[in-house]
Amino acid sequence: MRALVLNDSLKLELVERARPAIAGSRDVLVRVYQTGVCGTDRSVLVGKFSAAHGVIMGHESVGEVAEIGVDVTNLAVGDRVIVNPTLYCGRCGPCLDERTNFCLNKVGTEVGIDRDGSYADYLVLEDRFLHRIPDGVSYDRAVLAEPLACVLNNLDAAHLTPGDWVILIGGGPIGLLCAMAARYLGSPVTVVERDEYRRKQALKLLTDIFPDGITVVSADGMTSLPPGPVVIDTVGNQLAFAVDLAAPAGTVVIMGYDSRAEINVQPLKILQRGLRIVGAGDFKGPHFLRAVALTARLPLEKLVTHHFPLEEHEAAFAALAVGTNQSYRALKVVIRSTTEDSE
Ligand SMILES: [Zn+2]
Ligand SMILES: [Zn+2]
């Protein structure tokens, strides 16, 4: 099969690999339809996050069941499925406490980072990490279920009271998914984004879906915002601004991943205003189920601006400002493994 593999110089290479085979009785062979490019993939290629050399990357994927192990009863050949790439053991303390993203046996199990992922024709996973796509939901919508699960976990961490105004720093795909989910749950939302192209896209996309309760401002506009009860930093290096934007007794959620960021914050600001600063990580098992269910109701596919075949992976990442001097020209980029035209 074809596969995009991370080489020693942190570049993706399209190679031929043996098709993975079902080994355990609960294993499922998935024919990959497509995979969303995650900010983490981008971070690996620009040296901000590490992944195993030689691994097939890609983890936000959807596809069709091609073969099942003898003990698989909840899925059948031909079912359309969403991959949950955050594997867990289900038996350790954190897993039994439903904090599966902090599983003690997680090392080496992250799909597309430590073990082979889905920028390929096929993928094998246990049945419990595959979820049937709700009827009528397109692959373009379903491919955003995994990032939506992250968003739901971070909104939960904010202890969002229905109607609470949410300020989102960053108008990339994760910021906009946060905006969609928070607005859907009843919160008015303000997105702060410094890039003009992304600001325009954000405003159009969000106001197309929601008739009211959405504002999009530039970084300059941020200074005139009144403080809000919930501020989410989807960039990962904006903690100092986030603290300044939070109202007394407010919550700041650190959501974006940036392994190089180090921030100066005045502790007194946190103390005097009684702020709560939290991180939530990616998602727990139950969030994934909620995200899959929500695909039936939120038009997530509006975030997808580009599709590329596996062969054009360089162009796919170039649209996200990797290996080029150009800035972002895309929101969500999706890499198709299938050669079929339509779904
Ligand atoms: Zn991801
Ligand atoms: Zn565990």
Q: Which residue has the tokens 């596969």?
A: 3
| Burial of 153 (C-beta count, 10 Å sphere; 0-12/13-18/19+) | buried
Centre of ligand 2 to C-alpha 58, Å, is 22
Centre of ligand 1 to C-alpha 207, Å, is 26
Centre of ligand 1 to C-alpha 27, Å, is 22
Give the residues across from 278 on adjacent strands. Answer: 253
Terminal Cα-to-Cα distance of the chain (whole angstroms): 20
What residue ranges of the chain are covered by domains with CATH 3.40.50.720?
152-279
Q: How many helices (H) and strands (E) would you count in the chain?
A: 11, 15
Backbone angles phi, psi at 129, to 5 degrees: -105, 15
Among the four given CATH numbers 3.90.700.10, 3.40.50.300, 3.90.180.10, 3.40.640.10, the one describing domain 2-144+295-336: 3.90.180.10
Question: How much is the pLDDT for 186?
Answer: 94
Structure tokens at 68: 């099942």
Closest ligand, as measured to the CA of 94: 2
Centre of ligand 2 to C-alpha 91, Å, is 5
pTM of the predicted structure, to 2 decimals: 0.93
What residue ranges of the chain are covered by domains with CATH 3.90.180.10?
2-144+295-336
**Does residue 286 contact residue 273 with C-beta atoms inside 8 Å?**
no
How far is the C-alpha of 178 from the C-alpha of 164, rounded, in Å? 14
Centre of ligand 1 to C-alpha 15, Å, is 22
Closest ligand, as measured to the CA of 118: 1
Coil, helix or strand at residue 85: coil
Structure tokens at 110: 């992250």
Closest ligand, as measured to the CA of 97: 2
What is the CATH T-level fold of the domain 152-279, as seen in this structure? Rossmann fold (3.40.50)
Q: In what order do the strands lie in the sheet with 166-169?
A: 214-217, 189-192, 166-169, 228-233, 246-254, 276-279
How far is the C-alpha of 321 from the C-alpha of 265, rounded, in Å? 30
How far is the C-alpha of 295 from the C-alpha of 77, rounded, in Å? 22
Q: Which residue has the tokens 């809000």?
A: 228
Structure tokens at 190: 């303000």
Centre of ligand 2 to C-alpha 250, Å, is 32
Centre of ligand 2 to C-alpha 134, Å, is 28
pLDDT in tens, the chain (343 residues): 999 999 999 999 999 999 999 999 999 999 999 999 998 899 899 888 889 999 999 999 999 999 999 999 999 999 999 999 999 999 999 999 988 989 999 888 999 999 999 999 999 999 999 999 999 999 999 999 999 999 999 999 999 888 999 999 999 999 999 999 999 999 999 999 998 888 999 999 999 999 999 999 998 766 778 899 999 999 999 999 999 999 999 999 999 988 888 999 999 999 999 999 999 988 988 899 999 999 999 999 999 999 999 999 999 999 988 887 777 788 899 999 997 755 5
Structure tokens at 202: 């954000």
Question: How much is the pLDDT for 12?
Answer: 96
Note residues around ion ligand 1 (Cβ under 5 angstroms).
38, 40
**Does residue 11 contact residue 23 with C-beta atoms inside 8 Å?**
no
Residue 211 has a CB neighbour count (10 Å cut-off) of: 7
Structure tokens at 219: 């970084």
Comparing CA positions, the residue from 84, 51, 83 lying closest to residue 284 is: 84
